[in-house]
Structure 1
């Protein structure tokens, strides 16, 4: 616990916000084996580091493992992650795939490249969870992801829905969790910089050219008009998602 006193404000904010959501949703239990889907970006890498730190705080033992599925645009991009997990003493599975090029090829004629690539990646992550007998698959979605997804669902699908903090798959054999769902990206960026995490650039040709990017830019414009708008939206969605999650917990036998 003494090492926690040396953390910066942003690092403590990441660890405490993640811990709050984990506690309120009863996300983890003794013996949990967590696979963290690490893309190399700030969100998932910061989540991996924060969960590694939280292991020393939890009152029961858990295991944390990094899972990286390289989409294949830059085959050597994951080398810094391989070195980092070795230095941190973390287990990891790192592999190179052709998901990205396939998503942008004639093989994918019906879906967007992002949808196709994400589908392949998630399927592979599920397979890895089964292979390593993991109980949880953690994604690094943050508060901005929650807000963008909510408005995307409203605008495109006519559905009031955001992102689940914890959701059962395969008859409860695996939980997909998003421990950083209420954490603002600015704290993740600052903490990642202070921890010296070896992030790398997303070289996907579709990066920044998606509908999600358009919704994000629209929201940022609205947030810039009035200082309180961002926090009001985040507060509303935090309450909404937490109430839904806790309602699902009370309905369990």
Structure 2
């Protein structure tokens, strides 16, 4: 829908915007929003050294707005990058009845991506092992992450790209502060627990609202994971979203300021004894 394109030869008077590109029989508008997302993603790649020469990157594609955006933007950057790297789209089917993996697979195939759709029995394991009253999501996420690491090994990928965006970073910061008692968010680049892969989050500078608008523009075929709680609201995270939204009415730079704070840590002004020696030898 976005890439492997040739310049559009359709007369401008037939289009709503003149900067049109065409792929096969599909007309695509590549506007300022896409350019902004691509620029912010490229900046994150440079700032945190997310992608290097020869990388082979497994891009987690769930079928949601964030992962579709990530895949297409990384592909666009790849075509103009001064280094060579490869992308493999990876979808993990957790086995929940009703998951429409064929929709995701068709999108990946239609756009010429190398991809792997992996069917698993995560649903059966969750139903068997999950304790009553506990969340599907956290258990499922751990299982899916394990599958993703295994697939990365099988596909020869040294990095795994995930679609977490700016809002995810700052909401997680607040969630950990308010409910866990930890000053922790996410990292744009993190060594995986298995020691063999690096997890990267190139959309760290992109706000969720921009991804929502872009996804609607491109009409990505969004699919739900089909788990029993799919679509239910995460009340705690929604409260964080609401708090940020309310404060942002007074300060439109709030989100960027919060994200900047994650890169401007001053340990000696915190209470962590592992970071600061408070025995100053003074009376």
Normalising by the residue count of structure 2, what TM-score does the alignment of the two structures yield? 0.76
Listed as ranges, the matches of 1:71-110 within 5 Å are 71-103=94-126, 105-109=127-131
Q: Higher helix fraction: Structure 1 or Structure 2?
A: 1
Partner of 1:70 in structure 2?
Answer: 93
Residues 17 and 74 from structure 1, CA distance in 2 versus in 1: closer, same or farther, beyond 3 angstroms? farther
Contact 2:57-2:160 at 8 Å conserved across structures = yes
Question: Closer, same or farther in 2 for the Cα pair 1:76/1:191, shift >3 Å?
Answer: same
Determine which of 227, 235, 252 is the counterpart of 2:256.
235
Give the CA RMSD over aligned residues. Answer: 2.4
Deviation at 1:172, TM superposition (A): 5.5
Deviates more, 1:175-184 or 1:7-16: 7-16
State the Cα distance separating 1:239 from its structure 2 match: 1.4
How far off is 1:96 after superposition?
2.0
What residue number does 2:237 align with? 215
Structure number, greater radius of gyration = 2
Distance 2:6 2:82 in 1: 16
CA positional deviation for 1:31: 0.8
- 1:81-115 deviations in Å (ceiling 9; x for gaps): 21121121111110222323532x24212852211
Q: Secondary structure at the match of 1:21?
A: helix
Per-residue deviation, residues 116-151 of structure 1 (Å, max 9, x unmatched): 101100000000111111011011011121122111
The answer to whether structure 1 residue 187 and structure 2 residue 210 are counterparts is yes
TM-score by structure 1 length? 0.85
1:56 alignment partner, SS class: helix
Name 1:250's counterpart in structure 2.
none
1:15 aligns with 2:38: yes
Relative contact order: is structure 1 or structure 2 higher (C-alpha 8 Å, sep ≥ 6)?
A: 1
Q: Distance in 1 between matches of 2:53 and 2:256?
A: 31
Q: Distance in 1 between matches of 2:250 and 2:105?
A: 41
Cα gap change, 1:54/1:226 in structure 2, threshold over 3 Å: closer, same or farther? closer
Residue 229 (structure 2) aligns with: 206
Instruction: Quote the offset at 1:68 in angstroms.
Output: 0.5
Q: Cα–Cα, structure 1 residues 237 and 224, in superposed 2: closer, same or farther, change >3 Å? A: closer
Aligned residues: 240
Q: Which residue of 2 aligns with 1:48?
A: 71
Check the 8 A contact 1:223/1:229 in 2, yes or no.
no
Query: What displacement does 1:171 show?
Result: 7.4
Go from structure 1 to structure 2 and tell me whether the alpha carbon gap of 1:91 and 1:48 turns closer, same or farther (over 3 Å shift): same
